[in-house]
């Protein structure tokens, strides 16, 4: 490859003395000295988080305390940095939620990997994973920042449900939809 | 293709493209041969045709002939005029006829498919998130192609039994069943265990087992494979992993000398399931349930995964030195395995040659009654490989009585067992005490406890190579998962041992490399290149061994030769 020599213009006297630049800088400093501050004294002061902000992803339960996630593993598939790991399992037949059949045995999100993109929330067919307004998570080790299922439900809490899809299915079965 | 076959091919036109197919080919297969998919549910290439799902409807027409003159009718452009049937036909049950024209993608065909899909989805549950079939479900696939995207059905859906246990390995969700009857036909026609049937009528039709029966035959999991939806699921694989995460590696089942072609599904070094791979000359599209569980040995607690010397973990190099010392320090007998690949058997033979001329070599026979379908009487997958490579020249006996007698006579100082448990093969503890044993194997057992040197070997899922099945068909298998950390492959260890014994440079332990020698040295294997062996295998001329009394009986696609039948 040919090398191209770029001509470098010599600095003139004003440029070499730096004085015009210093004066220009000071002007900006003095102008802003009298304006109200735009920054926050984080972490003592906290910003207002808009609704729909995307912070840490968490798992939620429905108002009846049923874990909504059915371990379909779509979020695990869609997650761009592969932050999610799910170990799916079967709900035992004697459980009150046996009609849902499937739930995660373990659900881990590596918060060091998560980029808060929100794709997991968007892809979830069960409205089970939501990004919260928490944006700062920290810990003293890497392992500590891989949140397990327990921790994710703790952070997520309960969310209103407008469908109760699985309960409707159970009710239909109890009503004897197969009588004919 | 030979010429006489070529002659009776008939020509049909699919979407304007001319295809030549053998007579009797149905439209689905004819279209498949040019890469056009006609959506279907109930048709399966290896089962009888019932034509009950109506998903495969296509438009069909024949070139017209003038009734009076018998002359072909021509259109304005002078082309033969096609008289299209007013109603669509099912592609699965309609054979291709000479000159036939088929439209697989016309407006009528699309609207038929949309109609069928809408009816199929009327009572279908919204189960995909918890359904094991999701990701490999034909109903999902065709719903994305021909579904409406919303439902016009405002009535209540049927409720049918879910989580029904059909047998020890198969679960049924009746709501998801689309009543294609593939599973019923499989049980009746292939497994010869007629236990499934439909009860009730119309949309209340329900798949069930006959009273007092269960789907328990050793081929039951094939119903799970052929079920086009998630109605039948495997209790073993149920809810364990999504298929889209799994890597598929072509492999060969080591259950018997049938050499069933398989796919091993794994994710990050863990195997989740094994399914059959289609090979019309060996196993069609089937495999046994027992063969599907073989992957469980990979992670079992008794897996051998470190080299040991006198029971203590040791470095592989030190173990190699000790092997050389033992093998050089007295008279040696070698026990090979019918579970080793062709390449490993050949490498073992070279090693034996490096040790001397009069080294007795044994293999352990595993004869158990087969099922006449896909499990043969010979439970070693590769006895014929040992014959071809020259490791053996007779068929193996089930027990090592001859070796036992030699030990008693004090003729043997050291036994190298490459893959066989000597205790299980009939050597008594007292006999093993009289010799020094080098045991290479995948799992701990009585023999490993009594051996001076333990060499961990890899399972079939962790190595690559080839087996020769009962038809003398050479078939490749490839590595699905990595072996235990720090363990050489069987081939690599043998190559190192051979190099140490001969002072030559070690051979590169790749099957392709070994095959360069095999195809040069062995007449029957001449001209075969490992990388070119097709996915369905190549048949090798085994006539040289026709006089041997092989123990296999008749099984799917295999007839024993006369010599075998006599014995
Ligand atoms: S927010 Fe994005 S990166 Fe974080 S877990 Fe969800 S999908 Fe993954
Ligand atoms: S997408 Fe939703 S239901 Fe599926 S595994 Fe993720 S959180 Fe659970
Ligand atoms: S059978 Fe197919 S369409 Fe039906 S729930 Fe299962 S994955 Fe979904
Ligand atoms: S269970 Fe599956 S294979 Fe059997 S009839 Fe129903 S859909 Fe077909
Ligand atoms: S595939 Fe032809 S009717 Fe089902």
Quote the DSSP letter at residue B80.
B
- Supply A14's token pair: 């004003």
Q: Write down the residue that tokens 């209340």 correspond to.
A: B204
Gap between the Cα atoms of B230 and B226, Å rounded: 10
Quote the DSSP letter at residue B47.
S
Q: What is the model's pLDDT at position B6?
A: 57
CB neighbourhood size of B310 (10 A)? 10
Alpha carbon of A63: minimum distance to chain B alpha carbons (Å): 21
Instruction: State the distance from the centre of ligand 5 to the C-alpha of B146, rounded, in angstroms.
Output: 16
B321: burial class by Cβ within 10 Å (0-12, 13-18, 19+)? middle
Residues ≥6 apart with Cβ < 8 Å to B21: B9, B10, B12, B29, B30, B33, B96
Give, for ligand 5, the residue of B90, B120, B142, B229 to mutate: max count of ligand atoms closer than 8 Å to Cβ.
B90
The closest of B193, B180, B116, B177 to B148, measured between CA atoms, is B116
Q: What pTM, to 2 d.p., does this model score?
A: 0.92
Instruction: State the distance from the centre of ligand 3 to the C-alpha of B139, rounded, in angstroms.
Output: 6
Alpha carbon of A56: minimum distance to chain B alpha carbons (Å): 23
3-state secondary structure of A44: coil
Whether A124 is in the pocket of ligand 1, judged by its Cβ within 6 Å, is no
Tens digits of pLDDT across chain B (567 residues): 444 455 689 999 999 999 999 999 999 999 999 999 999 999 999 999 999 999 999 999 999 988 888 888 888 888 889 999 999 999 999 999 999 999 999 999 999 999 999 999 999 998 999 999 999 999 999 999 999 888 999 988 889 999 999 999 999 999 999 999 999 999 999 999 999 999 999 889 999 999 999 999 999 999 999 999 999 999 999 999 999 999 999 999 999 999 999 999 999 999 999 999 999 999 999 999 999 999 999 999 999 999 999 999 999 999 999 999 999 989 999 999 999 999 999 999 999 999 998 899 999 999 999 999 999 999 999 999 999 999 999 999 999 999 999 999 999 999 999 999 999 999 999 999 999 999 999 999 999 999 999 999 999 999 999 999 999 999 999 999 999 999 999 999 999 999 999 999 999 999 999 999 999 999 999 999 999 999 999 999 999 999 999 999 999 999 987 554 443
How many helices (H) and strands (E) chain B has is answered by 16, 24
- Ligand 4 atom at shortest distance from the alpha carbon of B181: 5
- Ligand 2 atom at shortest distance from the alpha carbon of A72: 4
The closest of B108, B118, B233, B117 to B169, measured between CA atoms, is B233
User: In what order do the strands lie in the sheet containing B270-276?
Assistant: B247-252, B261-267, B270-276
- Supply B296's token pair: 């469980």
- Ligand 3 atom at shortest distance from the alpha carbon of B229: 1
Contact B244/A at CB under 8 A: yes
Q: What is the model's pLDDT at position B149?
A: 86
Does residue B512 contact residue B531 with C-beta atoms inside 8 Å?
Answer: yes
Gap between the Cα atoms of A104 and B434, Å rounded: 55
3-state secondary structure of A143: helix
Give, for ligand 4, the residue of B206, B232, B233, B234 to mutate: max count of ligand atoms closer than 8 Å to Cβ.
B232
Chain B CA closest to residue A100: B130
3-state secondary structure of B204: helix
Gap between the Cα atoms of A171 and A164, Å rounded: 11
Q: What is the model's pLDDT at position B3?
A: 43
**Chain A: which residues have CB within 8 Å of chain B?**
70-74, 76-77, 88-90, 93, 99-102, 125-126, 165, 169, 172-173, 175-178, 180
List domains and CATH numbers for chain B.
10-105 (3.10.20.740), 122-240 (3.30.70.20), 308-562 (3.40.50.740)
Residues of chain B neighbouring A169 (CB-CB closer than 8 A): 125
Is the alpha carbon torsion for A46, A48, A52, A58 positive or negative?
Answer: positive
Gap between the Cα atoms of B223 and B46, Å rounded: 13
Q: Write down the residue that tokens 């360069």 correspond to.
A: B516
The closest of B349, B409, B411, B435 to B422, measured between CA atoms, is B435
Q: What is the model's pLDDT at position B67?
A: 86
Contact B68/A at CB under 8 A: no
Q: What is the model's pLDDT at position A175?
A: 81
Relative orientation angle of helices B316-328 and B490-502, to the nearest 10 degrees: 50
Enter the ipTM: 0.88
Diameter over CA atoms, chain A: 100
Gap between the Cα atoms of B33 and B37, Å rounded: 9
**Helical ranges in B409-508 per DSSP H:** 429-433, 446-449, 490-502
Q: Where are the beta strands (DSSP E) in B395-452?
A: 414-418, 436-441
Q: What is the model's pLDDT at position A103?
A: 97
Gap between the Cα atoms of A53 and A55, Å rounded: 6
Residues ≥6 apart with Cβ < 8 Å to B377: B256, B367, B368, B369, B370, B551, B552, B553
Gap between the Cα atoms of B477 and B490, Å rounded: 14
Gap between the Cα atoms of B177 and B230, Å rounded: 7
3-state secondary structure of B281: coil
Is the alpha carbon torsion for B501, B505, B509, B513 positive or negative?
Answer: negative
- Ligand 3 atom at shortest distance from the alpha carbon of B231: 1
Q: What is the model's pLDDT at position B562?
A: 56
Q: For chain A, give every domain's residue range.
A: 57-157
Gap between the Cα atoms of A133 and A73, Å rounded: 24
Residues of chain B neighbouring A102 (CB-CB closer than 8 A): 129-130, 239
- Supply B305's token pair: 């995964």
Nearest CA to ligand 4 atom 6: B177
Domain formed by A57-157, architecture:
2-Layer Sandwich (3.30)
Residues of chain B neighbouring A106 (CB-CB closer than 8 A): none
The closest of B262, B497, B203, B467 to B345, measured between CA atoms, is B467
Gap between the Cα atoms of B426 and A92, Å rounded: 45
Chain B CA closest to residue A178: B159
- Read off the pLDDT of residues B482-501 as tens digits, 9 standing for 90 and up: 999 999 999 999 999 999 99
Beta bridge partners of B57: B90
Residues ≥6 apart with Cβ < 8 Å to B412: B331, B332, B333, B360, B403, B406, B435
Alpha carbon of A89: minimum distance to chain B alpha carbons (Å): 6
Residues in chain A: 180
Gap between the Cα atoms of B344 and B386, Å rounded: 9
- Read off the pLDDT of residues B44-98 as tens digits, 9 standing for 90 and up: 999 999 999 999 999 999 999 888 888 888 888 888 899 999 999 999 999 999 9
Beta bridge partners of B62: B83
Gap between the Cα atoms of A120 and A101, Å rounded: 22
Instruction: State the distance from the centre of ligand 5 to the C-alpha of B358, rounded, in angstroms.
Output: 64
DSSP string, B219-277: TTHHHHHH-SSSSEEETTTTTT--GGG-EEEEEE--SSTT--EEEEEEETTEEEEEEE-
- Read off the pLDDT of residues B208-261 as tens digits, 9 standing for 90 and up: 999 999 999 999 999 999 999 999 999 999 999 999 999 999 999 999 999 999
Distance of CA B299 to the CA centre of its chain: 21
CA torsion angle for B201, B204, B210, B215 (degrees, to 10)? 130
CB neighbourhood size of A9 (10 A)? 6
| Upper half-sphere CA count for residue B166 (Cβ side, 13 Å) | 31
For all residues of chain B together, what is the average pLDDT? 94
Tens digits of pLDDT across chain A (180 residues): 688 888 889 999 999 999 999 999 999 999 999 999 888 999 899 889 998 899 999 999 999 999 999 999 999 999 999 999 999 999 999 999 999 999 999 999 999 999 999 999 999 999 999 999 998 899 999 999 999 999 999 999 998 888 888 998 888 888 865 555
Does residue B350 contact residue B418 with C-beta atoms inside 8 Å?
Answer: no
> Which of B239, B246, B267 to probe by mutation at the A interface, max A CB count within 10 Å?
B239
């Amino acid at each position: 490859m040919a090398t191209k020599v770029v001509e470098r213009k010599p600095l003139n006297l004003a440029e070499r003395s730096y004085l015009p630049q210093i004066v220009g800088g000071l002007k900006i400093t003095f102008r802003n000295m009298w304006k109200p501050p735009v920054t926050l004294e984080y972490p003592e002061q906290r910003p207002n988080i808009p609704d729909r902000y995307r912070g840490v992803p968490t798992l939620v339960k429905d108002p009846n305390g049923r874990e909504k996630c059915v371990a379909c593993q779509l979020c695990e598939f869609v997650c761009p940095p592969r932050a999610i790991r799910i170990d799916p399992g079967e709900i035992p037949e004697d459980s009150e939620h046996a009609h849902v059949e499937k739930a995660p045995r373990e659900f881990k999100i590596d918060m060091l990997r998560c980029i808060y993109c929100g794709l997991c929330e968007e892809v979830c067919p069960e409205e089970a994973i939501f990004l919260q307004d928490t944006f700062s998570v920290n810990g003293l080790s890497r392992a500590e920042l891989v949140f397990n299922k327990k921790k994710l439900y703790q952070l997520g809490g309960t969310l209103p449900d407008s469908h109760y899809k699985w309960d409707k299915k159970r009710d239909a079965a109890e009503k004897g939809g197969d009588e004919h | 293709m030979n010429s006489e076959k070529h002659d009776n091919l008939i020509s049909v036109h699919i979407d304007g493209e001319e295809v030549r197919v053998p007579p009797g080919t149905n439209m689905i297969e004819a279209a498949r041969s040019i890469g056009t998919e006609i959506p279907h549910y109930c048709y399966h290439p290896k089962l009888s045709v019932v034509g009950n799902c109506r998903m495969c409807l296509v438009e069909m027409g024949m070139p017209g002939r003038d009734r009076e003159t018998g002359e072909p009718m021509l259109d304005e452009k002078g082309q033969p005029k096609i008289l299209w049937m007013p109603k669509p036909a099912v592609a699965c049950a309609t054979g291709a006829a000479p000159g036939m024209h088929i439209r697989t993608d016309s407006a009528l065909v699309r609207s038929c498919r949309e109609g069928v899909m809408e009816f199929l989805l009327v009572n279908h549950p919204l189960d995909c998130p918890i359904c094991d079939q999701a990701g490999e479900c034909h109903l999902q696939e065709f719903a994305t192609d021909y579904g409406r995207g919303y439902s016009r059905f405002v009535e209540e859906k049927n409720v049918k039994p879910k989580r029904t246990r059909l047998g020890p390995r198969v679960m049924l969700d009746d709501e998801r069943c689309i009543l294609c009857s593939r599973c019923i036909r499989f049980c009746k026609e292939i497994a010869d265990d007629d236990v499934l049937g439909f009860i009730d009528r119309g949309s209340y039709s329900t798949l069930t087992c006959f009273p007092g029966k269960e789907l328990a035959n050793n081929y039951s999991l094939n119903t799970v494979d052929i079920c086009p939806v998630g109605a039948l699921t495997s209790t073993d694989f149920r809810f364990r992993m999504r298929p889209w995460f799994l890597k598929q590696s072509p492999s060969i089942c080591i259950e018997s000398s049938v050499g069933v072609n398989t796919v091993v599904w794994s994710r990050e070094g863990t195997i989740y399931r094994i399914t059959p791979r289609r090979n019309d000359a060996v196993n069609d599209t089937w495999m046994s349930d027992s063969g599907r569980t073989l992957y469980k040995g990979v992670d079992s607690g008794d897996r051998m995964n470190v080299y040991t010397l006198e029971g203590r973990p040791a470095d592989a190099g030190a173990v190699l030195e000790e092997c050389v010392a033992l093998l050089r320090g007295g008279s040696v007998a070698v026990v090979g395995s019918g579970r080793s690949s062709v390449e490993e058997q050949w490498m073992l033979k070279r090693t034996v040659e490096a040790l001397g001329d009069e080294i007795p070599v044994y293999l352990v026979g595993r004869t158990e009654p087969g099922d006449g379908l896909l499990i043969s009487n010979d439970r070693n997958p590769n006895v014929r490989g040992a014959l071809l490579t020259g490791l053996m020249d007779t068929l193996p006996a089930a027990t090592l009585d001859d070796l036992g007698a030699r030990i008693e006579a004090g003729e043997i100082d050291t036994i190298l067992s490459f893959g066989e448990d000597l205790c299980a093969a009939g050597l008594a503890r007292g006999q093993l005490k009289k010799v020094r044993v080098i045991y290479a194997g995948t799992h701990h057992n009585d023999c490993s406890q009594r051996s001076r040197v333990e060499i961990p070997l890899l399972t079939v899922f962790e190595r690559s190579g080839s087996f020769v099945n009962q038809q003398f068909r050479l078939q490749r298998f490839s590595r699905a998962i990595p072996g235990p950390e720090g363990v050489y492959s069987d081939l690599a260890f043998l190559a190192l041992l051979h190099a140490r014994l001969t002072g030559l440079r070690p051979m590169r332990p790749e099957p392709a490399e070994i095959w360069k020698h095999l195809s040069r040295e062995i007449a029957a294997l001449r001209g075969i290149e490992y990388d070119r062996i097709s996915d369905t295998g190549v048949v090798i001329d085994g006539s040289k061994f026709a006089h041997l009394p092989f123990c296999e009986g008749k099984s799917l696609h295999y007839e024993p030769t006369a010599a075998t039948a006599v014995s």
